[in-house]
């Protein structure tokens, strides 16, 4: 129980920010490209409550934590409603709307990395804040890589659907009703790690390259 409380305390804010900005980014992108569905339903918001799914965001992660001893965690937020038919160029703009979520997570990972560098630069001794910053980096890199996996309804699946020729895009999109179960099976079989690990490593390398000038300046 103490481990759970400590884990929740460290990860609570990073996870809430990661989920909220990911979903809000989809909503902002959709409105920019012509679909106001999420905006009209109040989902173009930075209020975490608007995006939390009681079952997927709270209950499932807690049950998995206790049932697997913290070895396996999974959860999801309430998907932002998007009417792709309302986009100005539906097939093309679908990719940009889908990419907005992972892009928001990558940006947040960068911001948490800057916080971690700032804590070291100002010699902040409290470990809790450093742990939270590291949790923020990890959480957002995981969301970035996971959501880019090319199976609908994940963002990567929508991006791939957008890039495929119409004939193949239509057939590929038919996977969507089964996508969640396919992804869960790949997670349980530990196959998804073959995608997650290299994508996260690439993203982390890019982040380190981006902050390198700052590190050189501080040193």
Q: Which of 20, 22, 23, 31 is catalytic?
A: 23
CA distance 28 to 92: 16
Do 123 and 181 touch, CB atoms closer than 8 A?
no
CA distance 16 to 50: 11
CA distance 113 to 134: 7
Do 163 and 42 touch, CB atoms closer than 8 A?
no
- DSSP structure string for 33-101: TT--HHHHTT-S-S-GGGT--IIIIIIHHHHHHHHHTTS-----PPPPP--GGGSSSHHHHHHHHHHHH
Concerning whether 23 is annotated as a catalytic residue, the answer is yes
On the CB side of 14, how many CA atoms lie within 13 Å of its CA? Answer: 30
**Burial letters for 5-39: b for 16+ Cβ neighbours within 10 Å, e otherwise?**
eeeeebbeebbbbbbbbbbbbbbbbbbebbbebbe
Active site residues: 23
């Amino acid at each position: 129980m103490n481990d759970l409380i400590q884990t929740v305390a460290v990860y609570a804010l990073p996870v809430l920010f990661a989920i909220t900005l990911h979903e809000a980014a989809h909503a902002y992108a959709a409105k920019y490209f012509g679909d106001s569905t999420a905006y009209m339903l109040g989902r173009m918001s930075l209020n975490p409550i608007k995006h939390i799914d009681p079952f997927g965001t709270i209950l499932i992660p807690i049950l998995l934590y206790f049932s697997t001893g913290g070895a396996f965690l999974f959860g999801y937020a309430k998907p932002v409603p998007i009417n792709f038919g309302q986009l100005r160029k539906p097939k093309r703009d679908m990719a940009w709307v889908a990419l907005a979520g992972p892009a928001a997570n990558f940006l947040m990972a960068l911001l948490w990395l800057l916080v971690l560098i700032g804590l070291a630069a100002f010699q902040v001794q409290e470990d809790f804040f450093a742990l939270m910053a590291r949790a923020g980096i990890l959480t957002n890199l995981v969301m970035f890589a996971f959501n880019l996996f090319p199976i609908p309804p994940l963002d990567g699946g929508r991006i791939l659907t957008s890039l495929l020729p119409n004939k193949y895009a239509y057939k590929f999109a038919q996977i969507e009703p089964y996508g969640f179960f396919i992804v869960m099976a790949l997670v349980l079989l530990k196959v998804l790690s073959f995608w997650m690990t290299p994508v996260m490593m690439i993203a982390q390398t890019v982040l380190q390259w981006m902050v390198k000038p700052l590190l050189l300046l501080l040193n």
